[in-house]
Each structure stands twice: as structure tokens, then as C-alpha cells.
Amino acid sequence: MDSDVIEKVTKYLFGTWRLQRSWLHPLHIVGGEGAYLIDSEGRRLLDFSSQLVCVNLGYGNKRIIEAVKEQLENIAYVGPGYSLEIRAEAAEALANVLPNRLRKFVFSSSGSEANEDALKIVRSYKYPDYKILSRYWSYHGNTAGAISVTGDPRRGAVELHTRVDGVVRIPDPYCYRCPFGEVDCDECGRMCIEYIDYILSNEPHVAGIFLETVTGTNGVIIPPRDFYPRLRRLADEYGVLLIFDEVMSGWGRTGKWFAFEHWGVVPDILTTAKGATSSYVPIGITAVDTEISSFFEDNFLPVGHTFAYHPLAMAAMKAAIEEYREGGYIVNAARVGDYLGKRLIELMDRHPSIGDVRGLGLFWGVELVRDRDSKEPFHKREDKIKGVELITQKVARKMIDYGVLLSMAWISNFVIAPPLIVNEEDVDLGVEALDKALRIADEELTK
Ligand SMILES: Cc1ncc(COP(=O)(O)O)c(C=O)c1O
């Protein structure tokens, strides 16, 4: 029965972002409860990265399930042009968790679409300026515009045929691998920001700067304290828009509703998805500053989707917002996140294969290296596209034996991001599994 299901899954469905021959034995999941998934062998597995950093409230959340069921009974779908009670309530609930400036929303069904909509809004508003600055260590989604502003190797795999032009790369504030060779973040000259100033003063027709506030998949990269305040000032000085992609870093993940709150800086456009419904229903959100939204009173808004403001997504989001608020899960993310960070940093003493550990709230990156002094990575970034078996994947596979799922095993790093409902005991289980499985990476160092 089990093998029958797996065989049909891999026979009919494409495995995403991979060579198809490498998707042979996906884990067969039969249920989930809280922060744990249950597989067909009856094992309870701690979900140590909330799947794709999206099931922020864990599995089986009664409030969200009941809200979606109720909405289904009431009305499952009407087009985006109609007024519905759930649309009014959910949109108001969203407005109440965002800064006053972000007051008008377009909804879609994914983070990629949220970014696609943001790009169209930026380019319409700033026309004829159209260029977008974005980073190398980033992921913004798989639609044409979103993959074009993406920096990671998935862009390389498609950009010759699927590309939106006008993207200019800016350096990453990636202190562990500073592109300018700085070693001390406190002492450094902040070329990562100075160079953006240089680009803005030389590059014609720039419309906006597109960033993950905290870079997620590509290594949980957190910029230095003064980075965003200075970037905000630069954007205002040059009259370009600041777009923050919080598809992954939003919804309590970093211990605040949205990551930008850590820096006291508000973007002109915010995109988000995933945790907005804790992934119970697909969703994408593009939230726009009032000055920009008023432009579209008399100018055509070139954005819309059949599933914009889908009643089930609105119901799930409203319930999720109530749950984040009343369950105290964002405060929990900050508190348990500190504990998780402390435990992960301790692992560095025992595992020479760990090069760096960094994070905020329940959003942590563990970067593996072949050599701590030279910071030589185990893999080149293109290895992902070539289908090379990655050391992070080997470690993650081993962790399943110890009862822990770590689905965010990227090229040289893990993204450790359990549901915001976890406690210290869950964290101990996850960190101990990683501790044991990392022997695989340590052994590779001597080869
Ligand atoms: C920061 C960020 N932006 C955009 C996306 C794309 O979202 P989706 O996969 O829902 O299209 C992702 C997905 O992981 C993401 O992490």
C-alpha cells in the first residue's frame, strides 16, 4: 500500500527543483499534529523547518480548520470583484498587524505571484524608470519576474529562456562571506551599503530595490544593525522604492510580526505569503504604501488573479492572525528562538564542519564548510542544478532516523525554523538529532 502510493506519486508528479531520477522514495506522510508529522510507519517526526518555512502554527490547528470549513459551507468562491464579509474582516485584520503606511493589498496564491504583482506595481508607478536592484544570495520565486530578481542558482537554470530584463545586482550584506573581504562587522566600512549608493548615483532608470529582509533559503543572512536605516535613507534620497520580500521572514518567524520591525524601517511595498495562513490554504499578499496606491485611483492597475481574495484564504488568514495574537506564538518564537540559537552555537564546539550559525527568533541558518579557516564550502552553488548529492541532504536524511525532519537543507546550509508553537524540549530533540547526524559532515573533512 505504502509503496503503491509512493510509486504513483513519483510516476505522475514531477519532483520540484531536482533531476527527476533523484526523486525515488519520498517520505509518505499520513498525518500531522502540532509540530510533528506522522509517516506511514507510524513515526512521529519533529518538523524542524515547518516544511518550507511555512507551517508556522503547526498541524491540526482547530481554529484555522474550523474557519475554513465554515467558509466552505457559506460560500467557497466568488470572483475578486465582489464584496464579501470575510474579505472585509480579513483585510482589516491584516491592516491591523501592518504599519499605517501599508494600507492597500492585492492578494494572489503564492509568494512568487506576490512578487510578480509587486514588480508590476513598482514599474507602473515609477514608469519610465524600470530597473530593479536585487541580490545574489536571494530567492523570490519561480515566475518570470520573480526568478529574474532572484540571485540563487535556480535563476541560472532558466534565465536564458525565461527572463525579465532590467535587473541590476547589488552586493549582499553577508558578513560571514563579505564580498569586500571585511572580517569584522563592527569595524567595517560598510561597502555593502556604500556600493549601493555608488550604483544608484550611476545607474539610470532605477525604480526599486527588491530584498528579502532576512534572506531565507540562501542562508538566513541578517544584515548589520545600521544597514536598513541607511538603505531607507538612500532609497528616499534617490527616489526609488524599497520592496521587502517577507514571504519567509514574516508572520512571527523572527520573533516579531514582520522582520523589518527589528530595524524600525518600513518598506514602500511588502510581499508575503506562506505563514499568512500557516499554509493551510495557498496565499500571496502584496501590501502597498498609501501614496503609491493612490496613484492607481486614476491609473490602470495591471494586476489580478482568479483566486485573488479567495474566500478560503481570507478565512484561513483571519483565523491565523487571531491565533498568532491570542496564542502568544510570536513572543514564544522570540523566547524559544533564543534557546535554539544558544544550542546551535554550542554545536560549533563539537563539529568542525559548522562554519557559522546565525539567526533571529525561530529562524536559524547553520552553514557547513570543508575548512573553518578558509571557509571553503562543501559545494559550488551550481552543484544543486547539476544534481550533485549535497552534504546537507545526507545529514538531513540521517536525521529522520533520529525522529527529525529538516526539509530546508540547501546547498551549504540548513534553515532551522520549527513551527512557532515549539518548546525547549522540541528544540532539544531537534538539536540532538542534528548533533548526531553532523558526524557525516565532520567525517568528510578528513577525506
Ligand atoms: C523569500 C521568498 N520569496 C518568494 C518565495 C516564493 O514563494 P512561492 O513558493 O509561494 O511562490 C519564497 C519561497 O520559498 C521565498 O522564500
What's the 189 CA to ligand 1 centre distance in angstroms? 32
Please provide the size of the chain in residues: 447
- List the chain domain ranges: 2-60+328-445, 75-327
The pLDDT score that the predictor gives to residue 186 is 81
Residue 357 in this model has a pLDDT that exceeds 80: yes
What's the 107 CA to ligand 1 centre distance in angstroms? 15
Residue 216 in this model has a pLDDT that exceeds 70: yes
Best probe residue, ligand 1, of 109, 218, 248 (max atoms within 8 Å of C-beta) = 248
Q: Among all chains, which residue has been given the C-alpha cell 559545494?
A: 379
The pLDDT score that the predictor gives to residue 184 is 86
Left (φ > 0), alpha (ψ -120 to 50) or beta: where does 116 sit?
alpha
- Residue 219, CA atoms < 13 Å, CB-side half-sphere: 26
The pLDDT score that the predictor gives to residue 130 is 98
- The pLDDT of 113-142, averaged and rounded, is 98
The residue whose CA is least distant from atom 3 of ligand 1 is 140
Mean pLDDT, the chain, rounded, equals 97
What's the 53 CA to ligand 1 centre distance in angstroms? 10
What's the 421 CA to ligand 1 centre distance in angstroms? 22
pLDDT band at 29; cut points 50, 70, 90: very high
Neighbours of 310 (CB within 10 A): 25
Q: Single out the residue of 418, 372, 309 nearest to residue 35, CA to CA.
A: 418
pLDDT digits (tens, 9 = 90+) for 235-278: 999 999 999 999 999 999 999 999 999 999 999 999 999 999 99
| Cβ contacts of 63 within 8 Å, gap of 6 or more | 319, 322, 323
Residue 1 in this model has a pLDDT that exceeds 70: no
At 240 the three-state DSSP class reads coil
CA distances to 20, 27, 39 from 7, in Å: 13, 12, 16
What's the 144 CA to ligand 1 centre distance in angstroms? 13
Question: pTM for this one?
Answer: 0.97
Where does 277-421 have alpha helices with state H?
Answer: 290-295, 311-327, 329-350, 383-386, 391-401
What is the arrangement of strands in the sheet containing 36-39, beginning at the earlier edge strand? 29-33, 36-39, 44-47, 404-405
- The pLDDT of 172-194, averaged and rounded, is 92
Residue 41 in this model has a pLDDT that exceeds 90: yes
The pLDDT score that the predictor gives to residue 3 is 87
pLDDT band at 183; cut points 50, 70, 90: confident
Could you give the CA distance from residue 50 to residue 66 in angstroms, rounded to a whole number?
Answer: 21
Q: Single out the residue of 319, 245, 291, 311 nearest to residue 104, CA to CA.
A: 291
Residue 190 in this model has a pLDDT that exceeds 70: yes
- The pLDDT of 302-315, averaged and rounded, is 98
The CATH homologous superfamily of the domain defined by 2-60+328-445: Aspartate Aminotransferase, domain 1 (3.90.1150.10)
Could you give the CA distance from residue 295 to residue 289 in angstroms, rounded to a whole number?
Answer: 10
Best probe residue, ligand 1, of 150, 270, 272, 274 (max atoms within 8 Å of C-beta) = 274
The residue whose CA is least distant from atom 8 of ligand 1 is 111
At 296 the three-state DSSP class reads coil
What's the 198 CA to ligand 1 centre distance in angstroms? 29
Q: Which grid coordinates are listed for 136?
A: 545574489
Which ligand 1 atom is nearest residue 143's CA? 11
Ligand 1 neighbours, Cβ below 6 Å, are 52, 110-112, 115, 139-141, 212, 216-217, 245, 247-248, 273
Which ligand 1 atom is nearest residue 273's CA? 10
Q: Domain 75-327 is in which class?
A: alpha beta
Could you give the CA distance from residue 420 to residue 412 in angstroms, rounded to a whole number?
Answer: 24
Residue 446 in this model has a pLDDT that exceeds 80: no
At 100 the three-state DSSP class reads coil
Q: Say yes or no: do domains 2-60+328-445 and 75-327 share a fold.
A: no
The pLDDT score that the predictor gives to residue 427 is 98
Could you give the CA distance from residue 13 to residue 7 in angstroms, rounded to a whole number?
Answer: 10
- The pLDDT of 69-98, averaged and rounded, is 98
What is the distance of C-alpha 430 from the center of its chain? 20
What's the 288 CA to ligand 1 centre distance in angstroms? 18
- The pLDDT of 391-399, averaged and rounded, is 97
Please report how the helices 424-437 and 329-350 are oriented relative to each other, as an axis angle in degrees rounded to 10: 30
Could you give the CA distance from residue 300 to residue 419 in angstroms, rounded to a whole number?
Answer: 40
Q: Of all residues in the chain, what percent carry a pLDDT higher than 70?
A: 99
The residue whose CA is least distant from atom 16 of ligand 1 is 248
The pLDDT score that the predictor gives to residue 24 is 86
Residue 447 in this model has a pLDDT that exceeds 80: no
Q: Which grid coordinates are listed for 370?
A: 570543508
